[in-house]
């Protein structure tokens, strides 16, 4: 689970990356889930977009991909979404530490 500080940090990183996952009129398919899973393993942070022809909205698409790939939804704005999943073998992104209570 991401803290608000970590989520803000990841949102700032996401502004620089390209959209690599596109959900179109075919809806959510196993190929899209596999593409997102592979991209999360390689990059940890990915940006996706739901096209106007899709039968689901961006929130639904983000939640569906996140649940099937064990990722966290960082942000959903309009038709775009950002997902994060730490790669345990080769972490690329160092998240800010959460404060202990």
pLDDT in tens, 31-84: 999 999 999 999 999 999 999 999 999 999 999 999 999 999 999 999 999 999
What is the model's pTM? 0.91
Q: Computed over its alpha carbons, how large is the radius of gyration of the chain?
A: 13
Residue 96 binned pLDDT confidence (cut-offs 50, 70, 90)? confident
| 89 in any annotated domain | no
**Within a domain: 98:** no
CATH of the domain at 31: 3.30.110.60
Whole-number Å distance between alpha carbons of 77 and 52: 14
Establish if 43 belongs to a structural domain: yes
Domain with 23, as residue range(s), is 4-84
Structurally, how many domains does the chain consist of?
1
**pLDDT over threshold 60, residue 101:** no
């Amino acid at each position: 689970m991401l803290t608000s500080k970590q989520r803000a940090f990841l949102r700032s990183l996401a502004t620089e990356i390209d959209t690599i996952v596109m959900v179109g009129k075919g809806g959510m398919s196993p190929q899209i889930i596999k593409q997102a899973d592979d991209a999360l393993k390689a990059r940890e942070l990915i940006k996706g977009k739901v096209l106007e022809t899709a039968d689901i909205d961006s929130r639904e698409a983000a939640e569906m991909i996140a649940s099937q790939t064990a990722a966290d939804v960082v942000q959903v704005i309009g038709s775009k979404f950002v997902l994060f999943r730490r790669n345990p073998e080769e972490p690329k992104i160092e998240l800010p530490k959460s404060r202990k209570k």
